[in-house]
């Protein structure tokens, strides 16, 4: 199946029959017959560093839930190649539209780790400045952010900015109406947006085969005329290669691009979930042997681009990030309860103003009025 360039020339629309991969499960070269060039080794080393730091951040955030410092945390352990690869494929001016599971991507983007966790700690609607970082607030409803990404990308196209938007979405969210509306809108209006589907096999506890009859989630783009591809999401080299091509496609005026990354969520859906009730340990162990960081490390060592000294320095950097995160999260934030109403609407509605006044009076009844920030 093909789509047409505007000059009438055909271009491929279907994804590869099998996920694109550059590495074996053990990290040795396994490049197949596909058109994607291998990323520069310097970029691969940069990705490795960000993946190691991201995993340490993830482990520390998980520990903070056990200490009561976080109400909930959805781990992305095992999905680091997708999270880091997406950020490194973009320019600084491009936009990210994350879900609640993309904390590692946000840290990779340069958002301070404590600000990344502010939403999950319950401190604020969004702990960071979306405009400063070009990162939309982390989205909990399924697939609603894909519509926002398509709309923003279309606006950037109208402005001629050359910017691209990338929306993360999970496998379960591809069954939601918003996902399909976003693909259709993006295709019709030629919006420069990349949809990255992280197929981690489970929508909370529902396995992929109970969610969809499609042969691959990448095929869901075809019906809308969206160029699609599938990639081994635990192969960082392949993820960087395919996402780099997808972003270039969108930026050059080719329209939207859908990438399905085959990966696996090693931890439960959140710390409130019991994954042993819906999947076997043997399955998890098979994916553990495809660990994205171990595969990339083995490849870089084989290339002679990573040695013991540099690996130790990267591990030490990751520990420093974890230590700063612990210190930041152990400090109680200075919160203003009435800020709850500050960013809902540009001009508060009468109902919202009434709710704000009610909360203020209740706080004043419990505390001294002069201690309540207004």
The catalytic site residues sit at 265, 269, 278
Q: Centre a 10 Å sphere on the Cβ of residue 115 and count the other Cβ atoms it contains.
A: 18
CB 194 within 8 A of CB 259: yes
Strand order in the sheet with 193-199: 95-97, 165-170, 193-199, 257-262, 227-232
d(CA 191, CA 211): 28
DSSP state of 223: G
Q: Centre a 10 Å sphere on the Cβ of residue 38 and count the other Cβ atoms it contains.
A: 14
CB 113 within 8 A of CB 95: no
d(CA 72, CA 228): 34
* Sequence-ordered list of residues with C-beta below 8 angstroms from that of 306, at least 6 positions apart, any chain: 45, 48, 297, 300
DSSP state of 174: G
Integer angstrom CA distances of residue 88 from 48, 54, 240, 263: 11, 13, 8, 18
């Amino acid at each position: 199946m093909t789509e047409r360039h505007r000059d009438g020339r055909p271009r491929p629309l279907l994804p590869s029959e099998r996920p694109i991969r550059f590495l074996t499960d053990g990290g040795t070269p396994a490049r197949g017959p596909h058109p994607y060039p291998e990323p520069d080794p310097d970029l691969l080393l940069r990705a490795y560093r960000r993946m190691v730091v991201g995993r340490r951040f993830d482990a520390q955030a998980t520990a903070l839930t056990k200490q009561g410092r976080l109400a909930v945390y959805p781990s992305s352990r095992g999905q680091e190649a997708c999270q880091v690869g997406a950020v490194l494929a973009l320019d600084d001016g491009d936009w990210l539209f994350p879900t609640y599971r993309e904390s590692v991507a946000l840290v990779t983007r340069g958002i301070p780790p404590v600000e990344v966790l502010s939403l999950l700690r319950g401190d604020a609607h969004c702990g960071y400045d979306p405009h400063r970082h070009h990162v939309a607030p982390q989205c909990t409803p399924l697939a609603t952010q894909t519509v926002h990404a398509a709309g923003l990308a279309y606006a950037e196209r109208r402005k001629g900015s050359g910017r691209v938007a990338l929306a993360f979405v999970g496998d379960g969210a591809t069954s939601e109406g918003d996902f399909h509306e976003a693909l259709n809108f993006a295709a019709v209006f030629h919006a420069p947006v990349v949809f990255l589907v992280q197929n981690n096999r489970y929508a909370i506890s529902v396995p992929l085969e109970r969610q969809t009859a499609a042969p691959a989630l990448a095929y869901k783009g075809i019906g809308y005329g969206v160029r699609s591809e599938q990639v081994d999401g635990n192969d960082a080299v392949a993820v960087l290669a395919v996402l780099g091509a997808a972003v270039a496609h969108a930026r050059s005026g080719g329209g939207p691009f859908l990438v399905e990354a085959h990966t696996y969520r090693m931890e439960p859906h959140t710390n409130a979930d019991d994954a042993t009730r819906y999947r076997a340990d043997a399955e998890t162990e098979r994916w553990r042997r495809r660990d994205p960081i171990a595969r990339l490390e083995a490849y870089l060592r084989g290339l002679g681009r990573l040695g013991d000294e540099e690996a130790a320095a990267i591990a030490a950097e990751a520990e420093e990030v974890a230590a700063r995160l612990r210190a930041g999260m152990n400090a109680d934030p200075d919160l203003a309860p009435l800020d709850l109403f500050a960013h809902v609407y540009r001009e508060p509605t009468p109902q919202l103003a009434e709710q704000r006044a009610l909360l203020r009076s209740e706080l004043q009844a419990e505390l001294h009025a002069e201690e309540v920030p207004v």
